[in-house]
Amino acid sequence: MHVEIMKPFLWVVPILLLVSILHYSCFVDGAPQVPCYFIFGDSLSDSGNNNGLLTLAKANYKPYGIDFPRGPTGRFSNGRNLVDVIAELLGFSHYIPPFAAAIGWKILHGVNYASGAAGIRDESGRNQGMRVTFNKQLVNHQNIVRQIVSLQGNNNSAAIQYLGKCIYTVTIGSNDYINNYFMPRLYSTSRQFTSEQYAGVLIQQYSGQIKTLYNSGARKIALFGLGTIGSIPFEVAMCNRSTNNVSLCSDNMNSAVQVFNARLQSLVDDLNSNLTDAKFTYIDFYGIGLSSAAASLGSVIFDAPCCEVVRETGLCVPFNTPCQNRTQYSFWDAIHPSESSNVVLGGRAYNATLPTDAVPFDINQLAQA
Ligand SMILES: *[C@@H]1O[C@H](CO)[C@@H](O)[C@H](O)[C@H]1NC(C)=O
Ligand SMILES: *[C@@H]1O[C@H](CO)[C@@H](O)[C@H](O)[C@H]1NC(C)=O
Ligand SMILES: *[C@@H]1O[C@H](CO)[C@@H](O)[C@H](O)[C@H]1NC(C)=O
Ligand SMILES: *[C@@H]1O[C@H](CO)[C@@H](O)[C@H](O)[C@H]1NC(C)=O
Ligand SMILES: *[C@@H]1O[C@H](CO)[C@@H](O)[C@H](O)[C@H]1NC(C)=O
Ligand SMILES: *[C@@H]1O[C@H](CO)[C@@H](O)[C@H](O)[C@H]1NC(C)=O
């Protein structure tokens, strides 16, 4: 794997692009492009589902949310997270509520089931404590779907028609590496499987999970690939502690993730050819991070978190005063992108800049289809 050149970069923000995209941030009046948006995944998408859980994977304390109007909410960001940006671009006048707080008719506009530390595999993230695994998120969705059928006057065909118009996004898989495969002292997967075998096992399970989502009526589904996990400050520091060649360790992680991403792209192709009444797309999170870096003006800090972090978790130290110039940091804590990076990532997932950003559709095209 020739990953050498990709080493240090991740979610770097081209400042000019950022300024232009920030114009979107005033919410649009009028109807959104689609009636509903359902969100599955991990801490990249979580907007508060872990707040009531006994877990280390929590972000409902300062300095999280320092740039968010409502302050700390459980979002793993200084401001908006990835799916907030996508909801805005889709034209929603509000953010999609977390499942933990979603009640009444509001569920018709969508629900966010995502949970920090969650993985494709149930055991992933167990080192952090409680979390809502992807399997459990799908069960929660089936519960919401039953409520939607009832809100539609128990008219099944009306409910099915409605659910087919919604956008569904999934950000899952990072914890199957960060909080599983790359924690060999706590998990046995790296001894059981080569990275090729592991990607295969994950994709096979993911494939079944996405078919479950399809069977619950989803027809417009965007699956996010994984980012350059080996280059996040948390893993670089871990490599620095546990090996004498940081770049080798970090490159190995990025290679493993690229194997997963390649398999995920094939899965999306397969799903599109097998389930022809639905549209699936792959979002190139890895490549968007790298090309943003290439386009950056060189004044961005991409290898250090903005807040001081807890070594064991990579999350911000509670009540720590973070850096001032937050828009110049691509990372917020040692794992998660800053709001500025989320604006770029969400912006390019919605409206692809390069043809490889979103294959075969960007989210805007999914919404219009
Ligand atoms: C159920 O919904 C479908 C599609 O919206 C509609 O055509 C049909 O008339 C509805 N049936 C009843 C009994 O309301
Ligand atoms: C590795 O650790 C040493 C000692 O703690 C530190 O000085 C150095 O900056 C670290 N390097 C990286 C790449 O994190
Ligand atoms: C560290 O690993 C890289 C490959 O990622 C290799 O090019 C380099 O030579 C290694 N350095 C040492 C000191 O072994
Ligand atoms: C798609 O269909 C082919 C042929 O029936 C099958 O081999 C493959 O496993 C299916 N893939 C998915 C993701 O359903
Ligand atoms: C951001 O501020 C820190 C100190 O607060 C400074 O060290 C750093 O150089 C600044 N970053 C940029 C990109 O100007
Ligand atoms: C998508 O981005 C291009 C520039 O990359 C811009 O010209 C266009 O207006 C954008 N479209 C939407 C729907 O945001």
Q: What is the pTM of this model?
A: 0.91
Q: What pLDDT does 26 receive?
A: 40
Q: What pLDDT does 294 receive?
A: 57
Residues with CB under 6 A from ligand 6: 351, 353, 364
Smallest CA separation from ligand 1 atom 12, residue: 155
Number of domains the chain is built from? 1
Smallest CA separation from ligand 6 atom 4, residue: 353
β-bridge mates for residue 41, sequence order: 171
Output the six-digit token pair for 178.
């960060």
Q: What pLDDT does 301 receive?
A: 83
Ligand nearest to the CA of 238: 2
Backbone angles phi, psi at 31, to 5 degrees: -75, 140
- The length of the chain in residues reads 369
User: What CATH number did the domain enclosing 342 receive?
Assistant: 3.40.50
Specify the 3-state DSSP secondary structure of 221: strand
Q: What is the pLDDT of residues 263-275, one digit of tens each?
A: 999 999 999 999 9
The answer to whether residues 50 and 115 touch, using CB atoms and an 8 Å cutoff, is yes
Ligand nearest to the CA of 15: 5
245 CB near ligand 3 (under 6 Å): yes
Q: What is the pLDDT of residues 102-135, one digit of tens each?
A: 888 999 999 999 999 999 999 999 999 999 999 9
Specify the 3-state DSSP secondary structure of 168: strand
| Kind plus residue range of the DSSP H or E element containing 167 | strand 167-171
Q: How far does the centroid of ligand 6 lie from the alpha carbon of residue 297, in Å?
A: 21
d(CA 361, CA 164): 17
For the chain, list residues with pLDDT below 70: 1-29, 293-299
DSSP 178: I
Give residues with Cβ within 8 angstroms of 166, minimum separation 6: 34, 35, 36, 37, 38, 110, 218, 220
DSSP 222: E
Q: What pLDDT does 102 receive?
A: 83
Domain that holds residue 205: 3-368
Q: What pLDDT does 28 receive?
A: 47
The CA distances from residue 231 to 24, 47, 125, in Å, are 29, 24, 19
